[in-house]
Chains A and B, each alone.
Chain A
């Protein structure tokens, strides 16, 4: 639903159906809404059956990469004698994204259930839910949900009376965007600096505590109980006719200069134009959309034309010059100084760089300084070339993609909105060159 607004009739409410319902937060209320029936069912299934079901559903990772969830789970080899771990990525910190927060604060048991099913499917007895430290309300609700689930025998050494062990532990982050990167999250969980790790080894081989690990996003895991209960075919049906690769419903967080910001749940392939104008109410009065960043601040900026031509799924966004990413739609209208916002985005990445890779540590800060200088009217045309070259040096050369993410809005900004940059150079003050120097 469009929380904090009433649901729109064109939404497909699956994950967000109970957003805003206080009764759904607690265990009894959740059970009254069908909670934990999927877990009961799943615990009676073989892990391989669950993995196959999820594969068949077409569910793909909702954290940004869009990797097929069932395939990811199939990398975990049952019976290898090692402890397996499930880590739920609830570090939601991609600017523009606030969907996982709503799942956790309105339907925490949906996530506990999803984690428990996921753990069982990959042969893990322990699932850690890594929640960013700033999400105090989500932390409170998740801690309470886990406590109640343990008390009710849903979690623990005899989960739902099946004799199986399923632990779900909440782990609180402490302020680091990069911990949303899966290998950084594993390091953070281990009590280390949140530095991304070099891959290989991949988490399924050597993950948290050096053991086989699967990391899934909150929204991904929250969708699993619905797939267990309703079947793969039901989930498959949420798609556009000409693209079978993206299935299911997707939560989008909408923010910025738009009438009705909030979370919206639509099926894959939904027209972005209808989404922006009908569901979200279009631009603020007297203004026009200028730029749209549809998948969190790390993805390329779309022009209004590109956005309006987009069908909202993994492939649809790529076809229109950007990515689905985390589904955090940031809308910027014609009253904004776009260059300032790109500079602000760069400052974000400079602040969040873990400091490992040279290009990222230095490049994010350098990019920020140049952009802020341009915004202050002290830029030159040479700065544009430098920015693009720095961006090139920051792309595809580092351990993780934070560096690439910083370069992305710079590149798309300078290529799609060059006039905005030019306008700031024209304002530049003319410095008198002392005669004797010439």
Chain B
């Protein structure tokens, strides 16, 4: 776009300069003016059907749909003129005549664009006096439920499935005021990215069965995060209520996931709320693990490590901060670092370049590799008798417990305590999971992205960087870090891939690591 011709126009009295071909609605955003709209979505082809985004363009006798009208030099656009507001008021009234007005029982209430714009510029009272249209609720399959009575036929869902997912399983059926969104019997919304239609729906017509009736939109606290479901690194929002993750939703990032997120990532959140967490540090005492405090546990771990090689088996879902500190520990002890990655089927979103649910079902595979960890399906091979095995956030599922017995001692740094560890672990250090701490992941293309804390960790569990930093300190290496930002700053100062980066420069959309140019995103 660098050499695109710029067009100058005025929107609501503000001078705007936008590249040629920009639609008025997008240009208005540049001017800080939101034109109310329903069918328009920046991630979908323009439909121009809701007629909500009508604006007045001087010297034009008809109101213009701003989503489908390109900017022109010298254009003067009025978004809030009486004529434009009257037109939109008319659209709102029409959208509501057959609407059940059931906001009190609608999941969308509080985040509904029909509600929002009606409050903003709709009529106070409807004039419709005739019977309303009724259609039954339909299960669309997958996670999607369709409440036809609330549907405004904006066709965002149809366009998503057709033009983005490239699997048109939804269609507008019938016509006139009988029209509704339909699918073919037996062909469900099971596409791995189908859940996006729920977010795209501006009203309460397409709902998530998973989060149905679970929370009101205004009760939710929201934190910016990165999906840990695979190595793609889709930006997401974690929504919590009462320290429980209720829902995950995509957060737009044009460089990674545009506006989308797959169903696997979206629905894989229950582990974030696990109740069987390790809540306090523990040391082995008399054949069983006993709770203790952090100082004692850290000292015990440091003692075990003294003069020993550490074999660190780390989860590729740990943050860069934790992984690089663990790498330091490996280096200091002359040990070895390994990790393994759960595998699943790759599922691309056909209409978006380089966006897929990746086969590597972990967020920080690239980060683990950059930290020097060796990827292996048999991560304990190479464990030598007498080594101290540090298992960091790995449940060791499928690993023969006798392999663990090889180790001189086992230190568990984790969120939960797997059954094998009840007898094998010498020290247990409880850590926060990735929605309970701050940190960064590096996605498969080398983009370093921050995630924020969304809920509190249980008991005495500490952020992973904090726990590992303190363990190193107990071993006489450094002084630990109070904040993730400090830990990252240290990482950036010592590793050239991260040179020049800081939490401030990463901001909410991330930065590519030095030298990482592979792939479009």
Contact assessment for B62 and A396 in the assembled complex, using a CB-CB cutoff below 8 Å: yes
Q: Are B177 and A353 in contact (CB under 8 A)?
A: yes
- CB–CB A355/B179 < 8 A: yes
Q: Residues of B within 8 Å of A, CB-based: how many?
A: 34
A325 at the interface (CB under 8 A from B): no
Provide the residues of chain A in CB contact with B130, threshold 8 Å: 366, 369-370, 373
Residues of A within 8 Å of B, CB-based: how many?
32
| A396 CB → nearest B CB, Å | 5
Query: A311 within 8 Å of B by Cβ?
Result: no
Stretch among B49-57, B261-269, B308-316, B447-455 lining the A interface:
B49-57
CB pair B49–A357 under 8 Å, yes or no, is: yes
Give complex CA distance A107, B234 in Å.
Answer: 64
B270 within 8 A of A: no
Chain A 333-367 near chain B by CB (<8 Å), digits 1 or 0 = 00000000000000000111111111101111110
Pair B94/A362 contact, Cβ less than 8 Å: yes
**CA distance in complex: A418, B192 (Å):** 58
Task: Tell me the chain A residues, 355-401 only, with Cβ under 8 Å from chain B.
Answer: 355-359, 361-366, 369-370, 373, 382, 386, 389-390, 392-393, 396-399
Contact A357 B51 (CB under 8 A): yes
- In whole angstroms, how far apart are the Cα atoms of A399 and B39 in the complex? 14
Q: Kindly report which residue of chain B lies nearest to residue A349, judged by CB atoms.
A: B176
- Establish whether residues B51 and A198, one from each chain, have CB atoms under 8 Å apart when the complex forms: no
Chain A proximity mask over B44-69: 1 for CB below 8 Å, otherwise 0:
00111111101000000111010010
Residues of B within 8 Å of A353, CB to CB, are: 175-177
Give Cα A357 to B177, complex, Å.
10
Point out the residues of chain A lying under 8 angstroms from B87, CB to CB: 393, 397
A115-132 to B contact mask, C-beta < 8 Å, 1/0: 000000000000000000
Query: How far does the alpha carbon of A158 sit from the alpha carbon of B172 in the complex, in Å?
Result: 43
B152's closest neighbor in chain A, by CB?
A: A358
Give chain A nearest CB distance to B68 CB in angstroms. Answer: 5
Q: B residues within 8 A CB of A397?
A: 51, 54, 62-63, 87, 90
**Chain A: minimal CB distance from B194 (Å):** 22
Given contacts A362-B95, A373-B130, A396-B63, contact A355 B176 (CB under 8 A): yes
Contact A356 B49 (CB under 8 A): yes
Residue of B46, B94, B98 with highest tally of chain A CB at under 10 A: B94
How far, in Å, is A26 (CB) from chain B's closest CB?
39
- Asked if residues A355 and B177 are in contact (CB atoms below 8 Å), the reply is yes
Asked whether B185 is an interface residue with its Cβ less than 8 Å from the other chain, the reply is no
**Residues of chain B with a CB closer than 8 A to A365's CB:** 176-177
In the complex, A362→B50 CA distance in Å? 11
Interface centre among A176, A356, A363, A396 (most CB of B within 10 A): A356
- 6 closest A-B pairs by CB: A393-B90, A355-B179, A365-B177, A362-B94, A369-B130, A353-B176
What are 14 A-to-B residue pairs whose CB atoms are below 8 Å?
Answer: A193-B172, A198-B46, A198-B65, A355-B176, A355-B179, A358-B50, A361-B179, A362-B97, A364-B177, A366-B94, A366-B128, A386-B127, A393-B90, A397-B54
> Footprint of B on A, CB under 8 Å?
176, 193, 198, 350-359, 361-366, 369-370, 373, 382, 386, 389-390, 392-393, 396-399
